[in-house]
Amino acid sequence: TSSSEMSLFDLVEKGIKDEAKSKTIEMLKDTDENYILDEILIPALDVVGKKFEKGEIFLPQMIQSAEAVKASLTVIKENLISKNGDKKEDVSKGKIILATVEGDIHDIGKNIVKIMLENYGYEIIDLGRDVPVDKVVEKAVEENIKLVGLSALMTTTVKSMEETIKALKEKMPEVKIFVGGAVLTEDYASEIGADFYAKDAKSAVEIAKIIL
Binding site for ligand B1M (CB under 6 A): 42, 45-46, 48-49, 52-53, 59, 62-63, 66, 98, 103-110, 112-113, 149-151, 153-156, 178, 180-183, 198, 200-201, 204
Q: Tell me how long the chain is.
A: 212
Q: Which is nearer to ligand B1M, 55 or 85 (CB)?
A: 55
Minimum separation from the CB atom of position 76 to ligand B1M (A):
12
Q: Is 148 helix (H, G, I), strand (E, B) or coil?
A: strand
Q: Least separation, in Å, of the C-beta of 163 and ligand B1M?
A: 16
Q: Shortest approach of ligand B1M to residue 158 CB, angstroms?
A: 9
CB half-sphere exposure, 3, CA atoms < 13 A: 14
Q: Please give the Cα distance from 158 to 174 (Å, whole number).
A: 22
Complex with ligand B1M: residue 48 or 71, whichever CB lies closer? 48
CA–CA separation, 54 vs 46, rounded Å? Answer: 12
Nearer to ligand B1M (CB atom), residue 163 or residue 200 = 200
In terms of CB distance, is 19 or 178 closer to ligand B1M? 178
- Alpha-helix residue ranges (DSSP H) falling in 30-185: 33-35, 42-53, 59-84, 108-119, 133-142, 158-171
Q: How far is the CB of 86 from ligand B1M (least distance, A)?
A: 27
Q: Please, which residue, 6 or 154, has the CB nearer to ligand B1M? A: 154
SS3 78: helix
* 60/41 Cα distance (integer angstroms): 18
